[in-house]
């Protein structure tokens, strides 16, 4: 498991398992969203939903191996691309030293009032740049 910009360790819950005995594939995207909180704080430090300024433009996820109950998982997150008003995050889910899933999520700096993307400020670009690399 490689070190990345930041990580979140979670303990899978019994209710997140499916009939096949592993974590349901619908759960892992929720874990990835939880691990994006440090990114949310760059854009909205107070987490004030009335001032929310990010939107998910899309994501892809690859499931590399089953993830199981009763063993912690670690979600690694880093910035893999910075554009004019958008950026991409790469996230991976690790359990017992094995990568079980990986996702790419495109986030857009967004003004909900005008329903338009907004350019990333230089300050935000600098903070995102500090989170690049795997």
What is residue 133's predicted lDDT score, i.e. its pLDDT? Answer: 67
Residue 10 has pLDDT above 70, yes or no: yes
- Rounded to two decimals, the pTM is 0.91
Residue found under tokens 């935000």: 124
Token output for 127: 């903070």
Contact 103, 90 (CB under 8 A): yes
Letter string b/e over residues 7-32, b meaning 16 or more CB atoms within 10 A of that residue's CB: bbebebeeebbeeeebbeeebbeebb
- State the maximum Cα–Cα separation within the chain, in Å, rounded to a whole number: 48
| 47-99 pLDDT per residue, tens | 999 999 999 999 999 999 999 999 999 999 999 999 999 999 999 999 999 99
Distance of CA 45 to the CA centre of its chain: 17
């Amino acid at each position: 498991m490689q070190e990345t910009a930041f990580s979140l360790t979670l303990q899978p819950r019994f209710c997140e398992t499916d009939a096949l005995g592993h974590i349901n594939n619908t759960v892992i995207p929720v874990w990835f969203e939880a691990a994006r909180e440090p990114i949310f704080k760059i854009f909205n430090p107070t987490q004030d939903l009335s001032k929310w300024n990010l939107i998910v433009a899309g994501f892809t996820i690859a499931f590399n191996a089953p993830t199981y109950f009763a063993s912690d998982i670690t979600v690694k997150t880093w910035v893999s691309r910075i554009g004019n008003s958008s950026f991409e995050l790469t996230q991976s889910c690790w359990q017992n030293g094995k990568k079980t899933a990986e996702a790419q999520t495109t986030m857009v700096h967004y003004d909900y009032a005008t329903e338009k993307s907004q350019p990333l400020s230089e300050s935000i670009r600098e903070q995102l740049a500090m989170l690049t690399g795997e």
